[in-house]
């Protein structure tokens, strides 16, 4: 890393701008992390590209990274906008001729080298490890709702070029469901700042259709005519909303998601699992405290894994969390047998296996109601079920992320909805089979199994001194048998 005592003076005689609308909002703030979000067609991508280009022209030697979830989507959308609509704005600087003088196909490009030594690197986030060696002043993340929080955080490591006065991560996106990590409800990007100069690390900027002077009334009318529902609310009104008929409508990440440091002392652990291969599988580790509340302390959420991979991951988690029982999808008896053969039996309970089939005798709705009850606050004002933030183990499944599918249980919640009837209204008796529900199934199995009976681990049998009535009458053996029956 090159350390610079002071930042170079910017070049002021470019004779470009001023900029208004969405671009003007970016030029008005100096926060290290910026989210520009709003309906479709508000000029978000143009604004970010314009802002980055101006900064690279003003500060010779500056570096920027343009990235999206895949390199192909970056070339097809972002670079096309950059070359056809942004660069012509800087025609008098000769930038377009300098950058596009060589005939290189967009999909084959790796960078743009500016005449003043500034540079743009192009990155698909399926290769996020490339950022280990990058040094940049500005990271532009397009359509950030496709990007997981872990990947977003990793991109901060390349902000070390120190040519621009502020090293920034700037994101743009159309709104998604309300439980995405960057949504206003999750609170990561503070919203509602009227003064863009107000100090702070992060800011959420709202872009509107009035911010884009080139938008046509025909395009707005096309958005306006979308069928009423979550898609129209997001694309036309710019709202972060979940689908109608959300099953876990009491879910509130501000309440149900907690930091690891806030987890109370755990009395015992157990696991729950929904099998999968083409579709994801999910294994969750639950801790139970002295107040009988459940905490999902760890989770593995992967597609394309063989059973031996799952078995090794479960065994590794068992070394960290000493659980003695796993409740798994009863529709997969052979998979359950495989895991039991791999994991063995819990100590002191040779007649029982670790992995037990889930109880589906009362139907799916019964299990969902158990989860709903667990997420609802009790008389003490606290729910009975929590999820620990950043609890995903064995890495994030980037293949799922590239397909815009959930990569953990929490990301399923906003899209987990009831099946719709012919009149379009939700049928509150059955989940929509098209919804990703693999984490939700693991939650359901856990809730049904946990509150069906007392699962407190066996206490050590009381010892009776030799010759006492307890020893003569065999009270120790009788108590042991009674506890096994009760368990």
Q: What is the pLDDT of residue 82?
A: 93
Same domain, 183 and 324: no
Note the Cα 392 to chain centre separation in Å. 10
pLDDT at residue 456 tops 50: no
Identify whether 209 is part of a domain.
yes
pLDDT digits (tens, 9 = 90+) for 319-352: 999 998 999 999 999 999 999 999 886 554 455 7
Give me the chain's average pLDDT, please: 83
Same domain, 352 and 268: yes
CATH number where 201 lies: 3.40.50.300
CA distance 429 to 453: 25
Percent pLDDT > 90 in the chain is 42
- Domain end residue (candidates: 235, 267, 301): 235
| Residue predicted with more confidence, 187 or 167 | 167
pLDDT level of residue 72 (50, 70, 90 thresholds): confident
pLDDT level of residue 93 (50, 70, 90 thresholds): confident
443-386-416 Cα angle (round to 5): 45
pLDDT level of residue 2 (50, 70, 90 thresholds): very low
Identify whether 55 is part of a domain.
yes
Same domain, 369 and 269: yes
> Which DSSP string corresponds to 132-171?
GG--BSEEEEESGGGS-HHHHHHGGGGB----SSS-EEEE
pLDDT digits (tens, 9 = 90+) for 227-281: 777 778 888 999 888 777 788 888 877 788 888 888 999 999 999 999 999 999 9
Specify the range with the lowest mean pLDDT, choosing from 73-77, 194-198, 320-324, 397-401. Answer: 194-198
When pLDDT is averaged across residues 288-307 and rounded to a whole number, the result is 95
pLDDT at residue 8 tops 80: no
| Residue predicted with more confidence, 197 or 264 | 264
Q: Which single residue is written with the structure tokens 């901060």? A: 156
Same domain, 49 and 109: yes
- Domain end residue (candidates: 235, 269, 287): 235
Helix (H, G, I), strand (E, B) or coil at 206: strand
pLDDT digits (tens, 9 = 90+) for 445-454: 999 999 874 4
Same domain, 436 and 386: yes
Contact 401, 147 (CB under 8 A): yes
When pLDDT is averaged across residues 125-150 and rounded to a whole number, the result is 84
The closest alpha carbon to 206, from 188, 220, 223, 193, belongs to: 193
Identify whether 330 is part of a domain.
yes
pLDDT at residue 14 tops 70: no
pLDDT level of residue 3 (50, 70, 90 thresholds): very low
pTM: 0.58
Same domain, 195 and 84: yes
Hey, what are 463's tokens?
A: 């010892």
What letters, b where the CB count within 10 A reaches 16 and e where it falls short, cover 441-479?
bbbbbbbbbbeeeeeebeeeeeebeeeeeeeeeeeeeeb
Strands lying side by side in the sheet with 294-302: 257-258, 385-388, 294-302, 281-289, 266-274, 326-328, 355-357
Domain assignment of residue 483, given as a range? 458-487
> Which DSSP string corresponds to 431-448?
E-TTS--HHHHHHHHHHH
| Residue predicted with more confidence, 185 or 79 | 79
Note the Cα 427 to chain centre separation in Å. 28
pLDDT level of residue 387 (50, 70, 90 thresholds): very high
Hey, what are 25's tokens?
A: 């909002």
Same domain, 191 and 308: no
CATH number where 408 lies: 3.30.420.280
Identify whether 16 is part of a domain.
no
DSSP state of 480: H
Which segment, 122-136, 354-368, 408-422, is predicted with the most confidence on average?
Answer: 354-368
CA distance 194 to 187: 17
pLDDT at residue 214 tops 60: yes
Helix (H, G, I), strand (E, B) or coil at 220: helix
pLDDT level of residue 163 (50, 70, 90 thresholds): very high
pLDDT at residue 196 tops 60: no
pLDDT at residue 98 tops 60: yes
Helix (H, G, I), strand (E, B) or coil at 8: coil
Q: What is the pLDDT of residue 475?
A: 63
- Return left, alpha or beta for 376; rule: phi > 0 is left, psi -120 to 50 is alpha, else beta: beta
Same domain, 328 and 431: yes
- Domain end residue (candidates: 209, 235, 261): 235
pLDDT at residue 171 tops 90: yes
Same domain, 220 and 354: no
Hey, what are 309's tokens?
A: 């991979």
Identify whether 103 is part of a domain.
yes
Q: What is the pLDDT of residue 113?
A: 92
Same domain, 368 and 295: yes
Omega prior to 18 cis, within 30 of 0: yes
CA distance 2 to 161: 7
Q: What is the pLDDT of residue 463?
A: 56
Neighbours of 190 (CB within 10 A): 15
When pLDDT is averaged across residues 372-399 and rounded to a whole number, the result is 87
Distance (Å) of CA 472 to CA 103, 181, 464, 475, 478: 95, 63, 9, 8, 12
Q: What is the pLDDT of residue 444?
A: 93
Identify whether 272 is part of a domain.
yes
Angle between helices 364-375 and 438-450 (to 10 degrees): 80
Identify whether 4 is part of a domain.
no
- The number of folded domains in the chain is 3
Same domain, 219 and 335: no
Q: What is the pLDDT of residue 442?
A: 96
CA distance 333 to 241: 39
Hey, what are 401's tokens?
A: 């992320």
Percent pLDDT > 70 in the chain is 83
Identify whether 13 is part of a domain.
no
pLDDT at residue 156 tops 80: yes
pLDDT at residue 459 tops 80: no
CA distance 244 to 265: 38
Strands lying side by side in the sheet with 33-37: 111-113, 119-124, 63-68, 138-142, 168-173, 33-37, 202-206
Q: What is the pLDDT of residue 75?
A: 86
Hey, what are 137's tokens?
A: 């002043």
Same domain, 273 and 421: yes
Q: What is the pLDDT of residue 389?
A: 84
């Amino acid at each position: 890393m090159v350390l610079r005592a002071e930042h170079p003076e910017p070049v002021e005689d470019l004779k470009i701008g001023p900029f208004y609308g969405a671009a003007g909002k970016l030029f008005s703030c100096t926060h290290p992390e910026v989210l520009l979000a709003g309906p479709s067609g508000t000029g978000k991508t143009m604004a970010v590209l314009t802002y980055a280009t101006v900064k690279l022209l003003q500060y010779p030697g500056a570096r920027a990274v343009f990235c999206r979830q895949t390199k192909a989507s970056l070339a097809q959308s972002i670079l096309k906008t950059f070359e056809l609509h942004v660069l012509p704005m800087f025609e008098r600087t000769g930038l377009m001729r300098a950058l596009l003088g060589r005939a290189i196909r967009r999909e084959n490009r790796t960078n743009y080298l500016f005449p003043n030594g500034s540079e743009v690197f192009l990155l698909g986030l399926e290769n996020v490890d490339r950022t280990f060696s990058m040094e940049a002043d500005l990271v532009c993340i397009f359509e950030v709702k496709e990007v997981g929080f872990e990947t977003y955080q990793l991109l901060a490591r390349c902000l070390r070029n120190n040519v621009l006065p502020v090293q920034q991560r700037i994101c743009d996106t159309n709104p998604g469901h309300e439980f995405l990590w960057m949504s206003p409800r999750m609170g990561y990007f503070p919203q509602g700042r009227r003064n863009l100069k107000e100090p702070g690390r992060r800011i959420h900027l709202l872009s509107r259709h009035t911010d884009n002077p080139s938008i046509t009334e025909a395009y707005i009318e096309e958005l306006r005519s979308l069928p009423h529902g979550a898609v129209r609310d997001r694309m036309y009104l710019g709202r972060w909303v979940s689908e109608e008929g959300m099953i876990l409508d009491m879910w509130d990440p501000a309440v149900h998601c907690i930091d690891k440091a806030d987890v109370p002392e755990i009395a015992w652990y157990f696991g729950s699992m929904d099998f999968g291969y083409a579709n994801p599988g999910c294994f969750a580790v639950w801790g139970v405290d002295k107040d009988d509340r459940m905490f999902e302390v760890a989770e593995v959420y992967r597609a394309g894994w063989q059973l031996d991979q799952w078995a090794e991951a479960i065994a590794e988690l068992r070394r960290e969390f000493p659980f003695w029982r796993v409740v798994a999808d009863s529709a997969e008896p052979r998979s359950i047998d495989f895991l039991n053969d791999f994991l063995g039996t819990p100590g002191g309970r040779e007649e029982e296996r670790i992995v037990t089939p889930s109880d589906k005798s009362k139907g799916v709705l019964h299990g969902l109601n158990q989860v709903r009850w667990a997420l609802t606050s009790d008389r003490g004002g606290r729910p009975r079920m929590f999820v620990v933030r950043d609890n995903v183990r064995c890495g994030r499944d980037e293949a799922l992320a590239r397909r815009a599918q959930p990569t953990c249980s929490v990301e399923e919640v906003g899209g987990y909805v009831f099946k719709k009837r012919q009149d379009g209204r939700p049928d509150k008796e059955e989940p929509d089979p098209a919804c990703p529900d693999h984490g939700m199934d693991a939650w359901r199995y856990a809730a049904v199994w946990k509150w069906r009976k007392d699962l407190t681990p066996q206490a050590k049998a009381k010892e009776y001194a030799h010759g006492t009535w307890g020893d003569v009458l065999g009270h120790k053996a009788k108590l042991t048998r009674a506890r096994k029956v009760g368990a």
